Structure 1
């Protein structure tokens, strides 16, 4: 009985040891498999690289700098091109004028001669005051300048100071004023106004400028840079000059210089206004003689303004004819 019991107990202990040994063996086998196999990557992400980004940024900055330099060079080239184009346009206009002068020189001479003969009028007789100043034996070598009589005692210049005149015809304006002053050896008084009736010398508002060599020089010197606002209508200057300066017994001549008369003005209304203020109440004779000189500036600048040039010529020709004066249309607005 005791032997069997002991044998059974021994067999149970051996079976338990076998189970434990198998368990340890399994664990060791699992450890060996785990160490020998490579890890499996389930998901991968690329880490940002700073160096390529920095290089790209540096390249971008360089490109921007080069772009600014190119833009500056391009703007400079555009400005230079614009200057060249303006110069070419100016040279083309000058070439066109020269060609026109050569091609139409004979025709122009005939037209000028015909125009002067048509516009010339009877010369005013010398007053006692002019005879005293000039002397009984004085004989004027030039009684007209461009077809305009120049034998008055007082002269008033009404000058269009608009941009088209000042920036294009001003040297010719200076030349014409200087020529007219030179033809008069001596007068009782001079006045200079723009077409709006503004005085060149405000200190002489409503007064005559004394005729002295210094005053004449001051007129030419001041006129070089004198450009007050102008509406390109001579009516204001003419009417103000007549109202402010006419005195009975004085021989006054107005010289109106201009290049256009804008569409807004009425030619008929201007003529009627001047007729009303410049007519003597007794016999209807004119108080002031009105001369006009037309400068063909807008013929070259823009064909759209040709109508304004024709309107100015029509107006001033009619005013001159009605007021004992002459109208002369120049063939060129550039100084000789």
Structure 2
């Protein structure tokens, strides 16, 4: 029979010591680490609070941005309204200015003068003294406010539809009156406002004055109907180009009722500048020809204050002032 050996007491005691040591170490670790979760929890709470603050700040910034965008839109709308009001005021100012210019044209003094429409008396030259006599004297130096010293006259007449339908009998009457004021001249010519001659065979030539020629002019004028663009610039240029002579005293008489801008004459200013260049000033400060104007209120007679009539009045007032003449606007169509 086999005899069992006993367990030595020293070995068991060593194991006990080892186990107690490990247990003590574990216990120490547990004691020292017990506060770590609390620290982590507090740190996470701080981060969460900061994130919330940042989110609130972002929301506030977005709110401010939205307010600024609305304010910008309102400002743009206010600017558009202001520009629209400004444009409207500018249009009203332009209309008032045009009416003022038209009223200036039809002043009381001019109406008084127009009642006698006669195109100014001409001063006697040596040739006129020979024709009229040295003892001939005029009672007044002007008629209807116009003064003339010319021996040659050119009529430039607007032959447009409005003139033909609304003022032609008065056009014939006023041309007759002008011819009566000049009992004797050296030359007469008639063309429309586009430079088309009444008598083509006399194109570029003076018609010799005589009672028979005057009657022929008036008779032809009564039925003269030719296209017109209602702009006197072509007729004035043609007359100056064909008849200017430094040794002749020449007057142009422009008859019309309105002015319609075109590519050749886009505005009143453009026409004035164009005529200035054609009807140049000589060394003595005199223009090549004298320009007078007569306005027929065709549109006023039917109750309309047309802008084209105002433009014609403005144009002729400026042209006559610059070119030694006078503009007469008739107060009514008889």
TM class by shorter chain equals 0.5 to 0.7
Among 159, 163, 166, the alignment partner of 2:164 is 166
In the superposition, the TM-score normalised over structure 2's length comes to: 0.62
Gap change, CA 1:122 and 1:256, over 3 Å in 2: closer
The farther-off stretch of 273-282 and 141-150 is 141-150
CA distance in 2: counterparts of 1:108 and 1:204, whole angstroms: 39
TM-score normalised by the chain length of structure 1: 0.62
2:216 equivalent to 1:218: yes
Q: Map 1:72-221 onto structure 2 (within 5 A).
A: 112-113=111-112, 125-141=123-139, 143-221=141-219
* Matching residue of 1:87: none
Note if contact 1:121-1:326 (Cα within 8 Å) is conserved in structure 2. no
Equivalent pair of 1:143/1:151 in contact (CA under 8 Å):
no
Secondary structure class of the residue paired with 2:166: coil
- The offset of 1:127, in angstroms, is 2.2
User: Structure 1: where are the runs of 5+ without partners?
Assistant: 1-106
Partner of residue 230, structure 1: 228
**Offset of 1:115 from its aligned partner?**
8.3
Preserved contact between residue 151 and residue 184 of structure 1 (Cα < 8 Å) = no
CA spacing shift, 1:180–1:143, aligned 2, 3 Å: farther
Write the distance in 2 (CA, Å) between the matches of 1:128 and 1:321.
28
Alpha-carbon distance between aligned partners in 2 of 1:254 and 1:183, rounded to the nearest angstrom: 15
Q: How many residues in Structure 1 have an aligned counterpart in Structure 2?
A: 224
The 8 Å contact of residues 156 and 252 in structure 2, kept in 1 or not, is answered as: yes
Structure 2: runs of 5+ lacking an equivalent: 1-105
Contact (CA 8 Å) 1:150, 1:184: kept in 2 or not? no
- Distance of 2:119 and 2:284 partners within structure 1: 20
Residues 138/312 of structure 1: CA separation in 2 closer, same or farther (3 Å cut): same
Q: What is the CA–CA distance in structure 2 between the aligned matches of 1:167 and 1:177, rounded to whole Å?
A: 17
Quote the Cα distance in structure 2 between the aligned partners of 1:307 and 1:135: 48
